[in-house]
């Protein structure tokens, strides 16, 4: 199956000249276009977004300063930047409109760097943050030995209800009074259900006052927020939310920061250049702008279809005996579905790594920690009702031998050929 987004002729020409990399790129695309990708942290970008990445912008700079540079007052450290500046400004306008946020920063190169910029700018060294424990889906980057260590931050862990896969709201007030964090950070790599951020903010105000920040890493759910399928954090008490733009948001791999507050935005802007970043990769910013245009048009339908697919697929998997997290609440209200690792070992006698290995043999790609994501299936044109067929393939692959898995792989190849990329301009 040929991915029409790719410059095939150029890649083949380079391959004939002996380019090993060109050959591997082609082989990768042929392989991945014959499988169902259900890794929750990935997505497929449109031809228009991909095209922006391969423009002259890829090798260009701009550096708006309006300051003294090497003894002279300059407005920009570079020349020839007129259109680059306009592209960034227009992208900022579209992102602000999409996320209903008057202040946004589209310059971070990734969600992780967005986190570093937000935490490093707003919290002095020695500050304390309360985060979701890794064992309950908290982002590994917020563990004490990672970003907090780099930024000089202390870490405490928020109380979590494993059965509900949500904050333990009843225990939250006692935690806040005991720990007195300078910020509560909702950063989940395993989000199944929306956090009640309004309740969290109100509990913070009562327990530790209005000064501590409520922050959210929305990397996984960014596209759902944009489309209205996940509650808008900024409307419900969150001071800043930020994240990567290539998971449920079908854009290039980079990051954004969003806030309602001018003072916060100004502080982060003043600390940006030559502290956190220099080159912002403007071809990728242009690609982000095009993805934002797509989401302004299709975000509502796309995000609702993602959640619809997740609900339908999780129901099918549960009916076929796969143990899933979040059972007491209907399994999911996001793009993710979680195989319960402990229950999978007990009932199916295999761990989640073995699950991933078997599914890859059958042409279904998930990650090695039991997460499945539906955002790319929907982007490729799958309907929520297709969750029945996909659920059958998953359950059959896990309960059958290699011969049946090979049959499923061929069925999936034919299914992929029937799909057409959706939600594009």
**pLDDT the model gives residue 10:** 85
Q: What DSSP string runs through 187-249? A: EBSS--S---HHHHHHHHHHHH-S-SEEEEE-TTTHHHHHHTSS--GGGGT-SEEEEESSSSS
Distance of alpha carbon 194 from alpha carbon 204, whole angstroms: 18
**Cβ proximity of 178 and 322 under 8 Å:** no
**pLDDT the model gives residue 1:** 46
Q: In 10 A of CB 274, how many CB atoms?
A: 8
Closest CA to 115 of 82, 141, 149, 154: 141
Q: In 10 A of CB 68, how many CB atoms?
A: 9
DSSP code at position 260: S
Closest CA to 197 of 230, 242, 165, 156: 230
**pLDDT the model gives residue 325:** 98
Query: Under CATH, to which class is 299-418 assigned?
Result: alpha beta
Supply the CATH classification number for the domain 56-292. 3.40.640.10
* Mean pLDDT calculated for residue range 349-358: 98
Domain boundaries, the chain: 56-292, 299-418
Proportion of the chain above pLDDT 90, given as a percent: 92
**pLDDT the model gives residue 401:** 87
Per-residue pLDDT at 3 exceeds 50: yes
SS3 366: coil
* Mean pLDDT calculated for residue range 294-320: 99
**Cβ proximity of 321 and 350 under 8 Å:** no
Per-residue pLDDT at 29 exceeds 80: yes
Q: What DSSP string runs through 66-96? A: EEEETTEEEEESSSS-HHHHHHHHHHHHHHH
- pLDDT digit string (tens) for 50-76? 999 999 999 999 999 878 888 899 999
pTM for this prediction:
0.96
Query: E strand or H helix at 114, and its extent?
Result: helix 111-122
Closest CA to 274 of 146, 147, 117, 142: 117
* Mean pLDDT calculated for residue range 100-126: 99
Band of residue 383 on the pLDDT scale cut at 50, 70, 90:
very high
């Amino acid at each position: 199956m040929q991915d029409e987004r790719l410059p095939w002729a150029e890649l083949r020409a380079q391959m004939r000249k002996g380019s090993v990399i060109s050959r591997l790129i082609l082989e990768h695309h042929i392989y991945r276009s014959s499988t169902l990708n259900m890794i929750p942290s990935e997505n497929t970008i449109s031809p228009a977004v991909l095209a922006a990445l391969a423009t002259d912008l890829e090798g260009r700079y701009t550096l708006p300063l309006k300051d003294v540079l090497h003894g002279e007052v300059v407005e920009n450290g570079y020349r020839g930047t007129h259109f680059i500046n306009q592209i960034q400004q227009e992208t900022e306008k579209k992102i602000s409109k999409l996320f209903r946020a008057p202040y946004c920063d589209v310059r971070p190169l990734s969600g992780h760097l967005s986190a570093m910029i937000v935490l490093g700018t707003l919290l002095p060294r020695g500050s304390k943050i309360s985060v979701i424990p890794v064992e309950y889906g908290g982002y590994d980057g917020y563990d004490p030995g990672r970003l907090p260590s780099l930024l000089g931050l202390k870490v405490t862990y928020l109380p979590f209800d494993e059965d509900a896969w949500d904050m333990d709201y009843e225990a939250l007030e006692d935690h806040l009074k005991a720990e007195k964090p300078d910020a509560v950070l909702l950063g989940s790599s395993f989000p199944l259900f929306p956090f009640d951020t309004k309740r969290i903010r109100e509990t913070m105000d009562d327990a530790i006052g209005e000064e501590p920040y409520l922050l959210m890493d929305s990397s996984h759910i960014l596209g759902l927020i944009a489309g209205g399928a996940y509650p808008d954090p900024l409307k419900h008490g969150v001071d800043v939310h930020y994240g990567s733009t290539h998971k449920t948001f079908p854009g290039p791999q980079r990051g954004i920061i969003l806030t309602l507050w001018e003072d916060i935005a100004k502080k982060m802007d003043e600390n940006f250049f030559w502290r956190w970043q220099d080159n912002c990769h403007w071809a990728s910013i242009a690609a982000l702008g095009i993805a934002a245009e797509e989401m302004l048009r299709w975000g509502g339908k796309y995000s609702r279809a993602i959640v619809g697919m997740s609900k339908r697929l999780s129901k099918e998997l549960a009916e076929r005996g796969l143990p899933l997290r979040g059972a007491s609440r209907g399994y999911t209200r996001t793009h993710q579905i979680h195989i319960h690792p402990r229950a999978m070992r007990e009932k199916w006698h295999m761990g989640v790594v073995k699950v991933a290995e078997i599914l890859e043999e059958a042409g279904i790609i998930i990650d090695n920690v039991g997460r499945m994501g539906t955002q790319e299936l929907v982007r490729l044109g799958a309907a929520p009702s297709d969750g029945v067929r996909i659920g059958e393939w998953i359950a059959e692959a896990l309960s059958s031998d290699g011969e049946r898995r090979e049959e499923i792989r061929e069925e999936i190849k034919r299914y992929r050929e029937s799909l057409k990329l959706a939600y594009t301009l």
